[in-house]
Amino acid sequence: MKVLITGGSNGIGKATAQKLQQEDHEAIIFDKERPDYRVDFYQGDVRDDERVKEVAEKADFDVLVNCAGFYELGSVEDMEKETAEKIFDTNVHGYLNFIRHSMPTLREKNGRIVNITSVAGRVSIPFFGTYCGSKHAVESISDSLRREQDEVEVAIVEPGVIETGFNERAREALEKYLPDSFYSEEYEEILLEDGLDGVDAEKAAEKVFKAVTDKRAKRRYQVPFRAKFAILTGLMPAVVQDWIIEKVMR
């Protein structure tokens, strides 16, 4: 099986590619950064529609794994316009670009699309608002795509926080907003807590591997158990969600 992975130079994408290689599948990476391991590689930015079209038409693959992503932590009020646009351009339009240009090939092969979202796409968390919004959009897009046609399977993988670089980038963002923000005290508390507990990329990659290789893909795969708890929280009334999240964030 040939699998094209966006954002496969690090994190979940890298771990997934290496897992596929270990199991005698072929991984193809599309990323801005060159991978530090041996793999077929196309360089590019998922926001560059022309480059995405070129690669989608040139590369030969059976499964698309949309994994490229960008985020920055900060309140809805503090988030700069340029940063919010980059989050949505990468996390939403980048996925759409590859979906749009890959569908003709995947339809011919009765292939599969695996979109990496997040539990943040189901439950909105304070100071992750823009990121949560982008992941919620991909959840909805994935469901619509699956219901629009039968030829290409569509699966979603919903990890929790991944350890690879997530907390480091969050710290940098909060330190940038900290001096002048109305939310300075909340930011300081998050920094003192040293970020969020994460799951390692290899564990998440196991779920992505299942989403890619299962004979019949599930609609959703969650990583780890606490992600399932977060999703159950998202099914509760809003007032209950608010109470739970307030307790968790304290």
Which of 14, 19, 71, 135 does the annotation list as catalytic? 135
Instruction: Transcribe the chain into DSSP letters.
Output: -EEEEETTTSHHHHHHHHHHHHTT-EEEEEESSPPSSS-EEEE--TT-HHHHHHHHHHS--SEEEE---------TTT--HHHHHHHHIIIIIHHHHHHHHHHHHHHHTT-EEEEE--GGGTS--TT-HHHHHHHHHHHHHHHHHHHH-SSSEEEEEEE--BTTTHHHHHHHHHHHHGGG-TTHHHHHHHHHTTS---B-HHHHHHHHHHHHH-SS--SEEEESHHHHHHHHHHTS-HHHHHHHHHHHH-
Give how far Cα 116 sits from Cα of 21, 99, 120, 138, 139, Å: 19, 13, 11, 9, 9
> Which among 74, 28, 58, 70 has a CA at the least distance from the CA of 178?
74
Extract the tokens encoding 224: 């780890």
Radius of gyration in angstroms for the set of CA atoms belonging to the chain, rounded to a whole number:
18
Residue 131 bears catalytic tag = yes
Residue 135 bears catalytic tag = yes
Which of 131, 177, 187, 221 does the annotation list as catalytic? 131
Point out the residues that are catalytic.
131, 135
